[in-house]
Chain A
Amino acid sequence: MVESIVSTGVAIGCIYALIGITYNVMFSASRVFSFTAGTLGMLGGVLGSLFIARMDMPVVVGFLLVLAAGALFGIVTEIVAVRPVLKSLDQHLYVLSTLALALIVQQFTAIEWSTEPQPFPRLLNIARGGFDQQFWLPMLACAAVIVGLELLYRHTLVGHAFLAIAEDNFAARALGLPERSLRMTSYALAGVIGALAGFAGGEMLLAYFGNAPMLTFYGFVPVALGGMGSNRGAVVAGLLLGLFQQTANFLVGGVFASVAVFTVFIIVLLARPEGLAGAAFQRRV
């Protein structure tokens, strides 16, 4: 039982964490919570199945095409759903615009792909076993993204520029940073991470249009728990969420597992509204 809780819990937690990071990367660049994050995860699974299982492409080619499609969808999100509402952030119109785009893509997928879950291909031709690739692939993807983002943000000029616009958009622009290009690049990067989450977790979640709202919802929990904009917080909270959810599945099961997850979620937010790793908000006076 413990083995099953850990392998499935950590794997699904890694997928939640990656979707949480997807939210954060878009948020850092624009102060917008784009609800297309779960849609990106869904597209990772559906497009992976489309390219590799249905169109018989090699796994590597299919994988790269999925990441490219994720980047493209990220850029389209920025242009269509985020840029037009940036001037009125205080009205939170982005909630409507990003949700609308997410719903359009979700329904289009349902019509053109299938309303039934479709099989996701085995990515590596190795025998199924206890600690299977469906569990360790999401963990590997999560580790790769954490390391990659650390290297990007800490050791590259572009990464420093990302941090600058995340820290203070106006000051960064005053210093001559190309804010719009950086924002689009951030959305493309978020698209890649979101699609990677769905691709790595494809075998576990299947290629199913209905994964979009599920990932949008459960992917947001690590963001809220971990602190908005904090990738480290999202990873820790995502893993905890996955483990806790799986433990609740074993201990109480059925719909009560979801009730247990959200009870803890509410308790944590009541005790620490800024999230586990977030800084308390200070208002300038």
Chain B
Amino acid sequence: MSMTRRQALKSAAAAAIAGGLAKPAIAANGPILVGYLPALTGPSSSTGVGINRGIQLAVQEINAAGGIDGRQIELITRDTQSDPTKAVNGAAELTRGQKVSVVFGPVNSGESLAVVPLLARTNTPQVHPCWVDSLTDPQKYPMCFRNAPTSQQIGAAANRYVVEVLKRKKVAVISDTTGYGTASVNAYVPMLKAKGAEVVYQGNVDAANPDLKPELLRMQSAGTEAIMPWSVNAGFLSRIINTRGDMGWDVPIVGQTTLGSGQTKALLVKPEYWAKVYPNNFRPVCYATDGKLSGRTSAFVDRLKSAKIDMGDTLLWWIAVGYDTPRMIAEAMKNVGTEPEQVVGYLNKLKGFPGVYGDISFAPDQHNGYPDNEVVMVEANSLRDGAFNLAPGYSA
């Protein structure tokens, strides 16, 4: 049977239309592309490595359970190498090149400060765990959500512990000279004063300064009853702890999570110097006064162990916040689909999503989802399997 040119053109047009119509149907059954911007290498990678273990486990579990309405999650990872420039490049490629449905991360504030404004222009929902206050703003970044505490919540918890639990009124606040350190001191000192504490020492010191005895002597002579250091530099923090120990001064040290890190521990002159050091942490991933984790967290740790995920060289809360992020997005997509506006609409009404790291709630005008009362202080020297005992004074 011969075919005229008109018939051939008609058939080609019909095939093209059919192909064009069929394409969304194929995409709807294909994997859901999720962009992921962790710092897996570079100076700030310890957080990213921990978070990554949780994210990978959650994605494996979701996919093994049939995915989201039959569609698998495909994680497209771009290692930021702890570099904001690479994070920006990765975000641009994920949104414009890969056309992902949602972005997890970046997981460090420095990179998020560069990426959040960029993603806000690409109509892509974003969930990150970074603490810097300005990294959420429902007006400027309506699709960006934080499933972790803000710096304000971190400082407020430490201040609350010093003033209300330890009942210390004369406080020394010290930081290194980094942007994080100075911003923390500037933010937390007025908060302390508002709680009725007297800040008898306030200082920013070069983290490379090998001798902090002058600073601690100045604190001591001012009558300090609690030292609050704000730095992520393990060398700086260990020098404060070592100097306090060498001086035989038993003043409590209350502050940044790094006070309880393995790097800080490795730099201590004597292990007993770690006593009365209370870093920030999060109640759902801490051992209660009976030495046990909560039921939800305990079950999660069992799953980590059965998946042979190492917890000895990282922190449980990093793995937990990583684990919660894909599950929260999967829940949203199961309920309302994968369109950005629908996902954001669902998150805007999220109430008490039961995360291992904490129960997350958002509102249209509140994209900081972590509850205040779950930010607590812990005993630094109680670290085992990535988790700590609650600091003395908290109820069970």
Contacts and interface: CB of A to CB of B under 8 A. Distances in A.
A210 interface: yes
A1 to B, nearest CB: 7
Interface string A121-151: 0000000100000000000000000000000
Interface residues of A, number: 27
Contact of A253 (B42, B210, B214, B234): B214
Contacts of B207: 210
Interface string B186-228: 0000000000000000011111111101110110000000000
Given A249-B209, A253-B214, A116 B234 contact: yes
B62 interface: no
A132 to B, nearest CB: 10
B235 interface: yes
Contacts of B41: 111
Given A208-B235, A254-B205, A8 B266 contact: no
A4 interface: yes
Contacts of B206: 255, 258
Contact of B210 (A12, A110, A116, A119): A12
Given A253-B203, A254-B204, A12 B211 contact: yes
A92 B88 CA distance: 36
A4 B217 CA distance: 11
Contact of B43 (A1, A115, A257, A258): A115
A205 B211 CA distance: 9
B269 interface: yes
Contacts of B42: 111, 115
A116 B217 CA distance: 26
Nearest to A218: B208
Interface string B28-56: 00000000000001111000000000000
B263 interface: yes
B282 to A, nearest CB: 22
Contacts of B210: 8, 12, 204-206
Interface in A185-243: 204-206, 208, 210-211, 214
A268 to B, nearest CB: 21
B211 A246 contact: yes
Interface in B252-282: 263, 266-267, 269
Given A8-B213, A249-B214, A254-B215, A119 B266 contact: yes
A118 interface: yes
B205 A117 contact: no
B235 A116 contact: yes
Contacts of A118: 266-267
Interface in A72-126: 110-111, 115-119
B177 interface: yes
Which DSSP category, helix, strand, loop or mixed, fits chain A's interface? helix
A250 interface: yes
A18 B213 CA distance: 24
Nearest to B213: A4
A11 B234 CA distance: 23
A257 B204 CA distance: 11
Contacts of B203: 253-254
A92 B249 CA distance: 52
B234 to A, nearest CB: 5
A12 B213 CA distance: 14
Contacts of B211: 4, 8, 12, 204, 246, 249
Nearest to B202: A254
B96 to A, nearest CB: 30
A210 B208 contact: yes
18 contacts: A1-B217, A4-B211, A12-B211, A110-B43, A111-B41, A117-B234, A117-B238, A118-B267, A206-B210, A208-B235, A211-B208, A249-B209, A250-B214, A253-B215, A254-B203, A254-B204, A257-B209, A258-B206
Given A4-B214, A205-B210, 8 more contacts: A115-B43, A117-B234, A204-B211, A208-B208, A210-B208, A246-B211, A253-B203, A254-B205
